[in-house]
Amino acid sequence: MATGTDQVVGFGLVAVSLIIFTYYTTWVILLPFIDSQHVIHKYFLPRAYAVLIPLATGLLLLLFVGLFITYVMLKSRRVTKKAQ
Amino acid sequence: MTKLTQWLWGLALLGSAWAALTMGALGLELPFPCREVLWPLPAYLLVSAGCYALGTVGYRVATFHDCEDAARELQSQILEARADLARRGLHF
């Protein structure tokens, strides 16, 4: 078995993914079948956000990946220019 | 047919089925809860796939079989090799 921080990080990721999955499943799949007067609807945002938040997060992720690639490419070009 | 074309075909079929059902093009009167579940379905499948990937990576990191003795042995061998090469004139 892995040790120390590896285990903590690994199981932490598992826990995070399970939490996100159960919350999102309840939001998208279960809530439409629950009576709109039930108290559970208080814990969930309006339904449109169920698509907007993942979309915005995905675009942000793409932005960070693009910025990282640009940064690495610029750095490598500067290193080759200095070596010439 | 290549794997890519297979995937694209599958996506196109499922996507058109979803679009037809969501926009009521088939003239089916689905009950309200079913329609409410249907239209965020692509986003839901993407998020679930992402959660599954994240959970699998985390699980594999946590249950990876470390070999501490082999790791220590390897590190000492690396130090030995470095010293040996430095003696022969190759410096890192």
Q: Each residue of B8-17: pLDDT tens digit?
A: 999 999 999 9
A47/B33 CB distance under 8 A: no
* Predicted confidence (pLDDT) at residue B64 exceeds the cutoff of 80: yes
Q: Does A18 touch chain B (CB under 8 A)?
A: yes
Residues near A50 by Cβ (< 8 Å), separated by ≥ 6? A24, A27, A28, B40, B43, B44
A40 in reach of chain B (CB within 8 A): no
Coil vs helix vs strand at A29: helix
Residues of B in contact with A13 (CB under 8 A): 54-55, 57-59, 61
Give the global pTM.
0.78
What pLDDT does B33 receive? 87
Mapping DSSP to helix (H, G, I), strand (E, B) and coil, where does residue A38 land?
coil
Could you give the CA distance from residue B42 to residue B27 in angstroms, rounded to a whole number?
A: 21
Question: A49 to chain B: nearest residue by CA?
Answer: B40
Choice among A62-66, A73-77, B20-24, B80-84 with the minimum mean pLDDT: B20-24
Closest residue in chain A to residue B42, using alpha carbons only = A51
CB contact under 8 A, A14 and B65: no
Q: Do B57 and A13 touch (CB under 8 A)?
A: yes
Task: Looking at the complex, report in whole angstroms how far the Cα of residue A21 sits from the nearest Cα belonging to chain B.
Answer: 6
